[in-house]
C-alpha cells in the first residue's frame, strides 16, 4: 500500500500539470501570498506574481509527461516535499524539454494543500 505522502504527492502532481496544460490561468489558486517560486533562477513571491509569470511564458499549449515523482514528509506538520522529473512537449516542437521541479506543500485549514515553495529548472545536456 502506498504511503499517504506518496498518494497526496501523486494526486497533487496530476492536478498541477493538468491545470498547467489545460487551464493555466487557474494555476494561481494553488499558491498563497507567502508562496515562493524560483523559475530558472528568477525568484518570485506571492500567488499573483507567480501566476503572472506562468501565464506569460512564451508558449501556449504544451503537454507534461512525468517520469518520476518522489514525495517525503516535511518538517512542517503535515507538509510534503514533492520532487518531479519529466519532459514538456511544446506544440509544434519536435523535441521535448526535460525538466525537474520541487514543491513544498503545506496543509490548509480546509483540508487541502497549497504550494509554499516551488523550484523549476530545465535540464540541459
First to last CA, the chain: 36
DSSP 33: E
- Look up residue 100 and give its three cell numbers: 525537474
By the 10 Å C-beta count (0-12 exposed, 13-18 middle, 19+ buried), 31 is classed as buried
Would you state the pLDDT for residue 18? 96
pLDDT score for 82: 98
76 vs 69, more confident: 69
Mean pLDDT of 11-37: 96
Least confident of 28-32, 48-52, 76-80: 76-80
pLDDT(54) > 70: yes
In this predicted structure, the answer to whether residue 2 has a pLDDT above a threshold of 50 is yes
1: DSSP letter: -
CA-wise closest residue to 106 among 14, 33, 19: 33
The count of residues in the chain is 125
For 5-30, give the DSSP string: HHHHHHHHHHHHHHHHHH-GGGGGGG
Contact between residue 42 and residue 56 where contact means Cβ atoms under 8 Å apart: no
pLDDT class of 92 with cuts at 50, 70, 90: confident
More confident of the two residues 117 and 1? 117
Amino acid at each position: 500500500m502506498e504511503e499517504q505522502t506518496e498518494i497526496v504527492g501523486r494526486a497533487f502532481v496530476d492536478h498541477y500539470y493538468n491545470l498547467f496544460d489545460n487551464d493555466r490561468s487557474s494555476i494561481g489558486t494553488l499558491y498563497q501570498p507567502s508562496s515562493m517560486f524560483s523559475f530558472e533562477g528568477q525568484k518570485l513571491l506571492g500567488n499573483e506574481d507567480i501566476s503572472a509569470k506562468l501565464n506569460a511564458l512564451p508558449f501556449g499549449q504544451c503537454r507534461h509527461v512525468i517520469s518520476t515523482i518522489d514525495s517525503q514528509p516535511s518538517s512542517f506538520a503535515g507538509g510534503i516535499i514533492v520532487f518531479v522529473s519529466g519532459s514538456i512537449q511544446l506544440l509544434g516542437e519536435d523535441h521535448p524539454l526535460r525538466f525537474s521541479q520541487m514543491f513544498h506543500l503545506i496543509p490548509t485549514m480546509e483540508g487541502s494543500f497549497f504550494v509554499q515553495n516551488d523550484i523549476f529548472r530545465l535540464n540541459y545536456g
